[in-house]
Amino acid sequence: MVRELRGLAYLSLLTIRRQLFTRKSILVATLIGLIVLGVYTWATKRVPDIMRERKKVDNITLEDDIKRERPRRERPSWQPEKKVPPKERVLLEFSNLVVMDVFLSGLVPLLTLIYATSAFADEREDRTLVYLLTRPLGRWRIYLAKGAGVVPVAMAVVLGSFGLICFVGGEPGQAVFLRFLPGLAIGTLAYTVLFLLFGAVAPRPLIMSVVYAFLVETIVGNMPGSLKRMAISYHTRCLLFNAGADIGVAPENPRHFVAIAPETASTVLWLVVAFLLLWGCIAFQRREYRDLA
């Protein structure tokens, strides 16, 4: 039993080393660098422009009517839209543009699929999986050991890049870092476990992961009704919307995107993680890799 645990621990450490010190890490670093450069440009050019903006009155207020001595019947019956202070506007723009649109929708699924899918796909491509399967270790234990090696790498890369982006984003980024970190962490975990399953059982795991992340979730996530609740991104967004509700972070169309309670979204994501891990263990235990012969 002790020797088996040592073997599984070594397999996890070997997986971490193989995930980090490869060419894909260079690709990931380049991608993150481009995003960071874009956020830095936003923080150094866009933010000062917003902070220097003066309040503009586009509509005629009731006070203007009184000063101009217009008849009461000609005065507008509505009040002018409330102007958002510059600091709140910067914070809201960073949350919606950088966190929700760029990071959550694009970078999180891309980074997780790069690392999680290749955990087993690289072994199959290099024809080394057959040597792993002949070891005196249970298959489902091997699956969990590989997962134990992939999850820390994916979490560190995703959350570390999020911290770097928030740091480069200046005051608004640093203000929302801890606010959105828990929701992004559980969403990253769910994506990682899903793509780990694809890498272990799918014939073309990378293609399947890309199609799911950027096609299936996009289509399902934009459908009306409750069908969008099948997407991981939906529940992650619900957590982020709740975390940023006090600063104005909300769906663009509340009628189209009806957010659920954060407790419900968190519970669903944890159940998804547990279900995908169980499914992966069973599928890997029964899978016959005839292409390795």
* CA dihedral angle for residue 211, residue 217, residue 219, residue 221, rounded to 10 degrees: -170
Question: Is residue 91 within 8 Å of residue 249, measured between CB atoms?
Answer: no
How many other CB atoms are found less than 10 A from the CB of residue 76?
12
Q: Residue 177: what pLDDT?
A: 94
Amino acid at 193: V
Mean pLDDT of 38-46: 90
Q: Residue 248: what pLDDT?
A: 86
State which of 3-17, 89-103, 124-138 shows the largest mean pLDDT.
Answer: 89-103
Radius of gyration for the chain, computed over Cα atoms and rounded to the nearest angstrom: 24
Q: Residue 290: what pLDDT?
A: 63
Q: Residue 215: what pLDDT?
A: 86
Read off the pLDDT of residues 150-206 as tens digits, 9 standing for 90 and up. 999 999 999 999 999 999 999 899 999 999 999 999 999 999 999 999 988 888 888
Q: Residue 60: what pLDDT?
A: 41
Mean pLDDT of 24-40: 92
- For residue 83, give Cα distances in angstroms to 54, 55, 59, 139: 11, 7, 12, 60
Q: Residue 94: what pLDDT?
A: 93
Instruction: Assess whether pLDDT exceeds 80 at residue 257.
Output: yes
Mean pLDDT of 258-274: 94
Q: Residue 182: what pLDDT?
A: 95
Read off the pLDDT of residues 199-249 as tens digits, 9 standing for 90 and up. 888 888 888 899 988 888 888 877 777 778 888 999 999 999 999 998 888
Q: Residue 291: what pLDDT?
A: 57
Q: Residue 64: what pLDDT?
A: 47
Mean pLDDT of 123-147: 80
Give the start-to-end residue ranges of the domains of the chain: 2-52+84-292
Instruction: Assess whether pLDDT exceeds 90 at residue 268.
Output: yes
CA distance 263 to 270: 11
Range from 1-15, 55-69, 101-115, 182-196 carrying the lowest mean pLDDT = 55-69
Mean pLDDT of 3-27: 83
Read off the pLDDT of residues 43-78 as tens digits, 9 standing for 90 and up. 898 888 877 764 443 444 434 443 444 444 444 433
